Amino acid sequence: MDVGGGSSRLADELVNRVYEDVTVLDLSRVAVDEARARFVTNAAERIQPTWVVADILSWDPPRQYALWHDRAVFHFFITDADQRTYVEKVVAGTSRGSHLVIATFSPGGPEMCSGLPVAKWSKDGLAQRFAEHFSVVDALEQEHTTPSGATQPFTWLHMVRH
Ligand SMILES: C[S@@+](CC[C@H](N)C(=O)[O-])C[C@H]1O[C@@H](n2cnc3c(N)ncnc32)[C@H](O)[C@@H]1O
């Protein structure tokens, strides 16, 4: 499950590596349509991901996923209520042993992402937010280079559901 996958190429890379069960969810129909069109164009014998246009905060996961990936979505949730709802969705969409890979702006990062205010997370703070259900396997601070060449400091966590 790539939450907020938008038109990123993670799903392409997974399918290229012969993962057969890939889901991409995004709020933006435009982004999903763009990604889907890319898959159709390159179709041949490629596996198609499951595409979902939804707001993760009001979507009810119909199943559990072995891996939940989120790069630069959770940080849009700036209220305690929205963050709690997001955690509930992750819990509903995973099971014991599922992996959670999540990346947000880190404390040194920008105040806004895509023109919207964001919450910035340290490794410890982010781990704490999910600690009731997930244990940290690995953590990383990364200087991410955007397509326009800017750098943004990200906090990455790899966690496993306990
Ligand atoms: C900064 S982009 C990151 C895209 C991709 N994950 C990447 O790393 O390249 C954030 C994405 O999250 C999506 N998004 C924002 N809020 C969302 C929500 N409430 N539910 C689902 N997707 C959301 C946006 O439409 C956008 O595609």
pLDDT at 44: 65
Distance CA 83, CA 3 (A): 14
pTM value is 0.96
Establish whether residue 73 lines the binding site of ligand 1, counting it when its CB lies within 6 angstroms of any ligand atom: yes
Q: Are 98 and 151 members of one domain? A: yes
Q: In this structure, what token pair is assigned to residue 74? A: 């959770």
Q: Among all chains, which residue has been given the structure tokens 């949730």? A: 77
Q: Are 34 and 101 members of one domain? A: no
Q: Are 136 and 83 members of one domain? A: yes
42 has pLDDT over 80: no
Q: Among all chains, which residue has been given the structure tokens 């159709």? A: 40
Q: Are 38 and 84 members of one domain? A: no
pLDDT (tens digit per residue) in 129-148? 999 999 999 999 999 998 88
Q: Quote the ligand 1 centre to 46 CA distance (angstroms).
A: 24
pLDDT at 18: 87
Q: Are 42 and 71 members of one domain? A: no
Q: Are 19 and 85 members of one domain? A: no
With a pLDDT cut of 70, the percent of the chain lying above it is: 98
pLDDT at 43: 66
Establish whether residue 72 lines the binding site of ligand 1, counting it when its CB lies within 6 angstroms of any ligand atom: yes
Q: Are 90 and 147 members of one domain? A: yes
Q: Quote the ligand 1 centre to 158 CA distance (angstroms).
A: 19
Positive or negative torsion for Cα 84, 49, 94, 13: negative
Atom in ligand 1 nearest the alpha carbon of residue 55: 20
Final residue of a domain: which of 54, 72, 99? 54
Going by CA atoms, what residue is nearest to atom 12 of ligand 1?
Answer: 4
Q: Are 45 and 84 members of one domain? A: no
Residues 6+ apart with CB under 8 A from 26: 3, 4, 5, 6, 32, 52, 53, 54
Atom in ligand 1 nearest the alpha carbon of residue 2: 6
Instruction: Please state the domain count of the chain.
Output: 2
Kindly tell me the burial class for residue 58, based on how many C-beta atoms sit within 10 Å of its own C-beta (0-12, 13-18, 19 or more): exposed
- For residue 86, the domain's CATH number is 3.40.50.150
Q: Are 13 and 82 members of one domain? A: no
Final residue of a domain: which of 19, 36, 54? 54
pLDDT at 39: 85
Helix extents (H) in the chain = 10-16, 29-41, 80-92, 123-130
pLDDT at 40: 78
φ, ψ for residue 147, nearest 5 deg: -55, -25
Distance CA 161, CA 130 (A): 9
**Domain span holding position 10:** 1-54
Q: Are 94 and 136 members of one domain? A: yes
Q: Are 84 and 44 members of one domain? A: no
pLDDT (tens digit per residue) in 2-12? 999 998 999 99
Least confident stretch, 14-18, 98-102, 114-118: 14-18
Q: Are 26 and 3 members of one domain? A: yes
